[in-house]
Amino acid sequence: MSAMFRPSTHRLAYCARAYLRTTPSSTARLARFSSPIFSATGSRNTTTARTTTRTTARFYSSEQTPPPPEKPEAENKDNGKNKKAATSAGAGAGKTPNAKKPADSTLDSAAAPKEPQWELPAGWVHLDDKEMTRLAQFATYLPEGQKATMEQAFRNVKYTGVPSEFRDLLRKDGLSVMDAMKLPRIAFALAEQMNEFEKKNPDFRVGGQEAADQENNNKGPTSFDQNKPPGEQQQKQGKGPEGEQKQQQGQGGAGGQKPPPPGKTFEVGDMMSWILSGLLFYPLYRMISPGESSREITWQELRKNFLDKGLVEKLVVVKDRVRVELNREAARAMYPDSAAGNPQFHYYFSIGSVDAFERKLDEAQSELGIPSTERIPVSYATEGMWTGLLMAFGPTLLLVGLLFFASRKAGGMGGGGQGGMFGFGKSKAKMFNHDSTVKVKFADVAGMDEAKVEIMEFVSFLKSPERFQRLGAKIPRGAILSGPPGTGKTLLAKATAGESQVPFFSVSGSEFVEMFVGVGASRVRDLFATARKNAPCIIFIDEIDAIGRSRSDGGFRGGGNDEREATLNQILTEMDGFNTSEQVVVLAGTNRPDVLDQALMRPGRFDRHIHIDRPTMKGRVEIFKVHLTKIVTNEDMTYLTGRLAALTPGFAGADIANAVNEAALVAARANATTVQMIHFEQAIERVVGGLERKSLVLSPEEKRTVAYHEAGHAICGWFFRWADPLLKVSIIPRGQGALGYAQYLPASDAYLMNTNQLMDRMAMTLGGRVSEELHFPSVTTGASDDFKKVTRMATTMVTQWGMSEKLGPLHFQNDENQIQKPFAESTAQTIDAEVRRIVDEAYKKCKDLLTARKKEIGIVAEELLRKEMLTRDDLVRLLGPREWPDKEEFTKYFDNRTPPPFPTENTDSPPEGPQPAIFKEEGKEPTEGGAKDVKL
Ligand SMILES: Nc1ncnc2c1ncn2[C@@H]1O[C@H](COP(=O)(O)OP(=O)(O)OP(=O)(O)O)[C@@H](O)[C@H]1O
């Protein structure tokens, strides 16, 4: 076919070419000539524009009329649907398709409700339609989500204009690295200008305008859309006439960009970062994704798609590749949906040798009948060393530069501590102010009267500072609230804010720690700056040990502390920087006051150290009262709170809150209408001992062993004078690995223990094993945990409590982190010998008692096997009343009262794997200073 029509092809090709060639700098002219046409395309008639453009292109094809444009092979695959659109455009040459509204009229009628008030600043210029199209390309390569926003942001450029240097860049065919470096400056100027514009013309706010666009969607595309290549418009509006029709029916938005929520507006910072990211992203994207700015094609594709259609303007040979320079306007008209019309996009093909390429090109041109004077120019370029280097390292350098820029901004070093461009350095403190007032009051914090008194002073200071200032008193800058977890430190800080009715900034120490060095310090700066603005106020830093650790520890642990130290230094500086009249109080919470840096604790910073310990019996009663108000119960409150407090020695406020809530859950599970004593007891048992594991079925042999083991403990507790009285013993497995469970009621909150109490407790702990020895031919592994406790107790007696005559009143702290023991080898031997002596004594004491009470052990164990659980009353029935008087609280809450029936509850399944310890009694042995943690 091509052979048949060759003469006419030649003629047509010659005409088209003659037109182009006789015009000096054809490309430029063509572009300038076609620009108004494109504008008219947007405004009047798409097909006319395409036809006109096509006549300006070089046609060497074998048909008189331009052939239906085919897409380049590669693109056809990706974008086959576009082919239809292109074909219809080609076939429709000369016809008049549906007209579109003119750009300006659309803008006036739809996008812009009225003419904006705006004067172009000096050095700024308006963009023509072609330049607006180029501008739109900056958004082309952005991710979908950002693209629409970027396009909206650029829409107002029509009015605001751009710096003239930006227009120069837009006119260029490609951006150099130097050009790319100008972009941030331009972006800042542009963003500023656009914000100014929006301020003066609220109707033109990007979000608002978009909402208006959405409303006016039926009326036609916006001026910005019209400036897009026709292909893109077709894509957005649906294909061909149907698409336009749809749009006329008000459905055009369906195929177009997703409109943002109506009324959404952009802040200055938003605008800046959108524009900046768009402008930066574009060249960056182009540099790191060369695959998107160029595509390899074959010689056949070149011929079929470009050469035969007269679209090739020039060929540039670079080593073994040939870059194809197309007539952009013609290419765009022919392939509206492909990248061929994009001036930044290049096709290239590989060649075996330059000679072979030249020969092939000559043959092809001869076949197409192109006279030698009109042949496609071929130039030969060498890419310089710098270009090569830039291509190799440019993307990396740009990325590194951006990261550096971001981290500097993040650290606030360049941003003056304003939180940085991306807000890394902004404090994450939660602010509670008058609107979101902290509702907690001192009445909600129970059982810490001394701590409340201390902190009350801060409240008075914040409420009436003159009372203190009059007398020349300086108010403490801050207080450290320390204590075990869950004792109500955060609660107390909140209550302080709630009582003083001042803003409260709450932040956790760990929130200052980030990957970037300097972020923590920047956040501290930001926090204190915000606090000063909101003074009087309270800052609460929870878990301050995350950043306030002693700096001398740092070196020992090895590197990586720079960030933490910088943050700590910043806190120190900020706290020093307070003016005494500035009403900013800093409270901090920690479980580890011992590790804090001394500089933090010195007067002038956190001058007050408020230690909040686990609550006493009285404290627990009060805390229970606070939490029971949230629960539906008909129990006698005085008795209930007293009994529950007696049952929960060692519980912190959080444990109590949890136990009360658990009781309500247990009651709800049982479909009860109110929460009763049984539910509370069940909940406490659950909290202390873990879930019952009824699914763990023991063999009769094992059960028997467990029963005798537990009976041994119970008998010891019953007959040793200083042991804790037993409350309940059971052989129902509970929690992790505990096959038996005994609950003792410790002698109130014992803060001091004497040697007698310690010896009786150790003997009682060994009771399980001794009972096994007395009743069975061999012993089991079940007593391992008991031994651990006994050994630890004896070691502490010897090394810390000065309870060994041989060693005397010495304290040996054996630090596990230290390789060397802090005592001589002979001392170590003496310690070992003394520990052994004490344990042996306890063992002997236990064995003597249990041998004498072997019969009683049998009675208790058999009853236990029958009933699975025995209460104190059962023991009184079986063994007679206990010889030694019990504590007052014990008799008050546990004697002469019917013991609650043994609660039954849902069970969990046993954990996987072997369980080495088969008996476990809950509770801990006394710590330094007495038996604060006592068994249950
Ligand atoms: N004294 C108390 N009075 C009433 N409720 C308390 C008390 N102490 C703790 N609670 C309860 O325990 C919960 C947790 O307490 P909070 O968070 O204040 O403990 P914390 O000492 O800050 O713990 P951590 O050291 O783990 O941060 C509180 O929300 C409250 O319900």
**CA–CA gap between residue 314 and residue 853 (Å, rounded):** 111
- Of the two residues 265 and 118, the one the predictor is more confident about is 118
- What does the pLDDT average to over 102-122? 56
- Of the two residues 219 and 394, the one the predictor is more confident about is 394
List the single range of 129-143, 309-323, 412-426, 697-711 with lowest mean pLDDT.
Answer: 412-426
**Which residue carries 């810390």 as its tokens?**
800
**CA–CA gap between residue 771 and residue 628 (Å, rounded):** 42
Whether the pLDDT of residue 930 is over 80: the answer is no
Work out the pLDDT band at 627, boundaries 50, 70, 90: very high
Whether the pLDDT of residue 868 is over 80: the answer is yes
The answer to whether the CB of 407 falls within 8 A of the CB of 461 is no
Work out the pLDDT band at 708, boundaries 50, 70, 90: very high
Q: What distance in angstroms lies between residue 489's CA and the mean position of ligand 1's atoms?
A: 6
Q: What is the pLDDT of residue 849?
A: 93
Whether the pLDDT of residue 378 is over 70: the answer is yes
**CA–CA gap between residue 681 and residue 693 (Å, rounded):** 17
**CA–CA gap between residue 516 and residue 419 (Å, rounded):** 13
Whether the pLDDT of residue 641 is over 80: the answer is yes
Q: What is the pLDDT of residue 143?
A: 58
Number of the ligand 1 atom closest to the C-alpha atom of 622: 3
Q: In what order do the strands lie in the sheet with 346-350?
A: 294-296, 346-350, 321-326, 312-318, 378-381
pTM of the shown model: 0.53
Q: What is the pLDDT of residue 661?
A: 92
Q: What is the pLDDT of residue 74?
A: 43
Q: What distance in angstroms lies between residue 649's CA and the mean position of ligand 1's atoms?
A: 16
Note the pLDDT tens digit of each residue in 759-778: 999 999 999 999 999 999 98
Task: Pick from 450, 487, 644 the residue to mutate for probing ligand 1's pocket: most ligand atoms within 8 Å of its CB.
Answer: 487
Work out the pLDDT band at 408, boundaries 50, 70, 90: low
List the single range of 19-23, 406-410, 437-441 with lowest mean pLDDT.
Answer: 19-23
Number of the ligand 1 atom closest to the C-alpha atom of 542: 27
List the single range of 103-117, 255-269, 550-564 with lowest mean pLDDT.
Answer: 255-269
Note the pLDDT tens digit of each residue in 309-355: 888 888 888 878 888 888 888 888 888 777 777 777 788 888 888 88
Number of the ligand 1 atom closest to the C-alpha atom of 492: 18
- What does the pLDDT average to over 219-236? 38
Q: Residue 320 corresponds to which amino acid? A: D
Catalytic residue among 329, 635, 710, 834: 710
- Of the two residues 152 and 856, the one the predictor is more confident about is 856
Residue 653 near ligand 1, beta carbon < 6 Å: yes
Q: What distance in angstroms lies between residue 579's CA and the mean position of ligand 1's atoms?
A: 32
Q: What is the pLDDT of residue 426?
A: 60
* For residue 536, cis peptide bond before it (omega within 30 degrees of 0): yes
Residue 446 near ligand 1, beta carbon < 6 Å: yes
Q: What distance in angstroms lies between residue 532's CA and the mean position of ligand 1's atoms?
A: 28
Residue 654 near ligand 1, beta carbon < 6 Å: yes
Residue 486 near ligand 1, beta carbon < 6 Å: yes
Q: What is the pLDDT of residue 273?
A: 56
Residue 488 near ligand 1, beta carbon < 6 Å: yes
Q: What distance in angstroms lies between residue 490's CA and the mean position of ligand 1's atoms?
A: 6
Whether the pLDDT of residue 498 is over 70: the answer is yes
The full length of the chain comes to 936
- What does the pLDDT average to over 470-482? 81
Q: What is the pLDDT of residue 874?
A: 85
Backbone angles phi, psi at 245, to 5 degrees: -60, -45
Residue 593 near ligand 1, beta carbon < 6 Å: no
- Of the two residues 55 and 544, the one the predictor is more confident about is 544
Looking at every residue in the chain, the average pLDDT score rounds to 69
- What does the pLDDT average to over 465-475? 79
Work out the pLDDT band at 392, boundaries 50, 70, 90: low
User: What percent of the chain is predicted at pLDDT more than 70?
Assistant: 60
Q: What distance in angstroms lies between residue 654's CA and the mean position of ligand 1's atoms?
A: 5
Q: What is the pLDDT of residue 709?
A: 92
> If we measure between CA atoms, which residue out of 206, 244, 217, 257 comes closest to residue 109?
217
User: What percent of the chain is predicted at pLDDT more than 90?
Assistant: 9
Is 710 part of the annotated catalytic residue set? yes
Note the pLDDT tens digit of each residue in 869-923: 888 888 888 888 888 776 666 667 766 554 444 444 443 333 333 333 333 333 3
Going by the DSSP 8-state scheme, the letter that residue 896 receives in this structure is T
Q: What is the pLDDT of residue 450?
A: 84
**CA–CA gap between residue 648 and residue 641 (Å, rounded):** 10
Output the CATH code of domain 6-93+293-380. 3.40.1690.20
Q: What is the pLDDT of residue 850?
A: 93
Write down the domain spans for the chain. 6-93+293-380, 107-286, 383-424, 430-611, 617-689, 700-894
Whether the pLDDT of residue 489 is over 50: the answer is yes
3-state helix, strand, coil in the chain (%, to 5): 55, 10, 35
Residue nearest to atom 29 of ligand 1 (CA): 491
Q: What is the pLDDT of residue 431?
A: 62
Q: In what order do the strands lie in the sheet with 478-482?
A: 430-432, 504-508, 537-542, 584-590, 478-482, 608-611
List the single range of 70-84, 329-343, 391-405, 442-456 with lowest mean pLDDT.
Answer: 70-84
Q: What is the pLDDT of residue 837?
A: 94
Residue 448 near ligand 1, beta carbon < 6 Å: yes
- What does the pLDDT average to over 445-460? 84
> If we measure between CA atoms, which residue out of 306, 360, 514, 301 comes closest to residue 425?
514
Q: Determine whether 50 is exposed, middle or buried from the number of CB atoms within 10 Å of its CB (0-12, 13-18, 19+).
A: buried
**CA–CA gap between residue 461 and residue 196 (Å, rounded):** 44
- Of the two residues 812 and 63, the one the predictor is more confident about is 812
Residue 447 near ligand 1, beta carbon < 6 Å: yes
Work out the pLDDT band at 49, boundaries 50, 70, 90: very low
Q: What distance in angstroms lies between residue 487's CA and the mean position of ligand 1's atoms?
A: 5
Contacts of 775 (CB under 8 A, 6+ apart): 708, 854, 857, 858, 861
DSSP tally for the chain: helices H, then strands E? 40, 16
> If we measure between CA atoms, which residue out of 590, 594, 596, 601 comes closest to residue 493?
590
Q: What is the pLDDT of residue 794?
A: 93
Number of the ligand 1 atom closest to the C-alpha atom of 445: 3
Please name the fold of domain 700-894. Answer: Methane Monooxygenase Hydroxylase; Chain G, domain 1 (1.20.58)
Q: What is the pLDDT of residue 833?
A: 93
Q: What distance in angstroms lies between residue 161's CA and the mean position of ligand 1's atoms?
A: 59
Q: Angle between the 653-669 and 677-689 helix axes, to the nearest 10 degrees? A: 120
Within 10 angstroms of residue 368's Cβ, the number of other Cβ atoms is 21
Residue nearest to atom 17 of ligand 1 (CA): 490
Q: What is the pLDDT of residue 213?
A: 45
Residue nearest to atom 11 of ligand 1 (CA): 654
Please name the fold of domain 430-611. Answer: Rossmann fold (3.40.50)
Q: What distance in angstroms lies between residue 657's CA and the mean position of ligand 1's atoms?
A: 8
Longest CA–CA span in the chain (Å) reads: 129
Note the pLDDT tens digit of each residue in 7-42: 333 333 333 333 333 333 333 333 332 332 233 333
Task: Pick from 445, 482, 490, 660 the residue to mutate for probing ligand 1's pocket: most ligand atoms within 8 Å of its CB.
Answer: 490
Whether the pLDDT of residue 806 is over 80: the answer is yes
Residue 445 near ligand 1, beta carbon < 6 Å: yes
Note the pLDDT tens digit of each residue in 505-543: 888 888 777 656 667 788 888 888 888 888 788 888 888
Work out the pLDDT band at 843, boundaries 50, 70, 90: very high
Whether the pLDDT of residue 490 is over 70: the answer is yes
Work out the pLDDT band at 254, boundaries 50, 70, 90: very low
Q: What is the pLDDT of residue 44?
A: 33
Q: According to the CATH classification, is domain 617-689 in 1.10.8.60?
A: yes
Number of the ligand 1 atom closest to the C-alpha atom of 491: 18
Residue 485 near ligand 1, beta carbon < 6 Å: yes
Q: Residue 775 corresponds to which amino acid? A: H
Q: What is the pLDDT of residue 623?
A: 92
Task: Pick from 441, 491, 510 the residue to mutate for probing ligand 1's pocket: most ligand atoms within 8 Å of its CB.
Answer: 491
Q: Count how many Cα atoms sit within 13 Å of the Cα of residue 770 in the half-sphere of its side chain.
A: 28
**CA–CA gap between residue 890 and residue 374 (Å, rounded):** 113
Residue 490 near ligand 1, beta carbon < 6 Å: yes
Work out the pLDDT band at 624, boundaries 50, 70, 90: very high
SS3 726: strand
